[in-house]
Amino acid sequence: MDWNSATATDIARSIASGSLTARDVIGETITRLDRLEPGLHSFLSVRNHDDLVREAEAIDRAGTKAGPLAGLPIAVKDNICTVDLPTSCGSRILEGYRSPYDATVVERIRAAGGILIGKANLDEFGMGSSTENSAFGPTRNPWDEKRVPGGSSGGSAAAVSAGQAILALGSDTGGSIRQPAAYSGLVGLKPTYGAVSRYGLVAFASSLDQIGPLGRTVADTALLYDVISGYDPRDSTSVPGSRPATARSLDRTDLKGIKIGIPEEYFTDGLDPEIERAVRLGIEALVDAGAETVSISIPHTRFAISAYYLVADSEASANLARYDGVRYGYRDSQADDLDSMYCSTRQIGFGTEVKRRILIGTYALSSGYYDAWYLQAMKVRGLIAIDFERAFEKCDFLVTPTTPTAAFLLGEKSDDPLAMYLSDIYTISANLAGLPALSVPCGLTGNGLPIGIQFMGKPWNEPVLFAAGRHLEKRLAPIGCPGEESTS
C-alpha cells in the first residue's frame, strides 16, 4: 500500500479483511511522525509510542468488534479536550493544562476504534488563518514548507496531508476547517450548527464554532463525520433527532434534478484567476454529472467580514474572560496584588492576535457602543441567513471557491491583519447562517499548490454535499499528494 496516498477507507477495509493489521498501520504512522514532524510541526503533543502500539495490538485482537474506525490513526485539534494529552489551544495561558474529561467527539472516536495520535497545532484559541499565531511556533504546509497550511486547523490539515494521521478533527468558526483543507489538498466539512457536539470544545465564539472532519477523500471525511455527529444532551446547542448516515449516499448514480446555485458575489475582484478557472471546471464537471446551474445572489455578502469579526470577537471577549490566572492555566507569580496579577497574566499569557480580538470584542460590547456595533452585526447576520434561505428556494446547494488564493508564504500577511482576515471571505457566511459547507480539492495552481471548491447547503443537507463532492472526485483528475521530497 502506498502510504503517501492511502485513504482511511482503504486502510479500514484492509484491516477488516486481515490483509493489514492495526499494528502495521501504527508502526508506519510512528515512522512518519518521527521523520516529518521536525520539519512540519503539525503537533503540539503526541502520545507515547508504546501506548499507541499496545492500543493497536488490542484492536487487532478485537477483530471485527473493534468498530468502523478500527486501527485508524487520528489527529485531534488542540482545542478539543482529551484526558491523556494536554489541551493548550496553542496558548501560553493554557500551557500544560490537562482536561479531566474527553470531549464527546473524542469519546465517539475511541468507541469506534480510532487511535488518537496526538493534539494538532492551531492558531491560538482558533484565532487565525495560517497557524502562525500559535504560541508554540507555526506549522508548515507539506506541499511547500515555505507556505502556510491554512488555519486555524492547520496542524490537523498538515498531519493528514503528510500522512502523519489518516484522519483529523478540526474546528470551524469562520472557515478554519475548509480553508486549511483547500490549502493542503484535503476534503474538509463544516457541519450544520448543532450536528456535532461541542461538549469539550474550548469556546472561541460559541454561536459560530463547530467541530468537523478532515480527510483525503470525500468517503474518508464522511466516515469520520458519521462517527462524531449526532445528538448529545451535554451540549445545549446539540439538535435532537436521527439523521441518515452520509457514507451511504456517496454513490448516487448522477446529479439529475439537482440545481446548483452560482452566487455572483463570490466571483468578483480579488479572486485569483487560477482559482476561478479551477472552480469553473469543477462546476462543469457537476453539470456533466447531470446538475443544472442557476445564477444566485447573496446580496449581504459584502457585510459578512465586518459582521463576523464583531460577533466572533464579542463572544471571544466573553469566553476568554475566564482565563485570569486564578483557577487554572498560567499565572504571573511575580505580581504584587490581585489586580496586577490579572493584568500581567493576561498580558503575558495571550498572544497579539488574541489580545487584538478581545479588545475589539470588549469595545463592541461596551456601554454606548453595543447597539451601534454588536447589535447591528447581529442584524446583518440575520439578513445573511435570509439571503441563503431565499437562494435555496431556487437551488439545492451553492458552489463557490473556498479561498480567494492558494496557500500564501509564511510571514506574507503577518503584519496585515485585514489581508489575513480576507483569506476567509468565502467561508465566513456559512458560519453566520449555521449552514453545512464542504471543501473538496479541484486542481492545482501552476506552481503545484492545491485549490479547493466549496459546496454550501441547506441545514442538515450534508448527504447531498458529500454526494456532489464524490461526483466531483470521480470526474476530475486526482491532485495526488505532497510527495516525499516536499516533506523531507
Q: Indicate the DSSP class of residue 269.
A: T
Q: Comparing C-alpha atoms, which of 215, 219, 220, 205 is closest to residue 180?
A: 215
Q: How many CA atoms lie within 13 A of 207 on its CB side?
A: 15
Q: State yes or no: is 152 an active-site residue.
A: yes
Query: DSSP assignment, residue 417?
Result: H
Of these residues, 152, 414, 423, 429, which one is catalytic? 152
Q: With contact defined as beta carbons under 8 Å apart, do 385 and 250 qualify?
A: no
Q: Is 277 exposed, middle or buried (0-12, 13-18, 19+ CB in 10 A)?
A: middle
Q: With contact defined as beta carbons under 8 Å apart, do 283 and 443 qualify?
A: no
How far apart are the two ends of the chain, measured CA to CA in Å? Answer: 20
**Active-site annotation holder among 42, 45, 77, 197:** 77
Q: Exposed, middle or buried: residue 244 (CB in 10 Å: 0-12, 13-18, 19+)?
A: exposed
176 part of the active site: yes
Sheet harboring 73-77: ordered strands across? 43-46, 115-120, 73-77, 167-172, 210-215, 187-190, 437-444, 450-457, 397-401, 259-263, 292-296
From 134, 176, 229, 439, the catalytic residue? 176
Could you tell me the three cell numbers for 221?
A: 471525511
Under 8 Å between Cβ of 441 and 217: no
What residues are paired with 453 via a beta bridge? 401, 440
Q: For 372, what's the count of Cα atoms within 13 Å in the CB-facing half-sphere?
A: 6
Alpha carbon distance 150, 132 (integer Å): 9
Q: Are 21 and 15 in contact (CB under 8 A)?
A: yes
Q: How many CB atoms lie within 10 A of CB 115?
A: 26
- Active-site residue set: 77, 152, 176
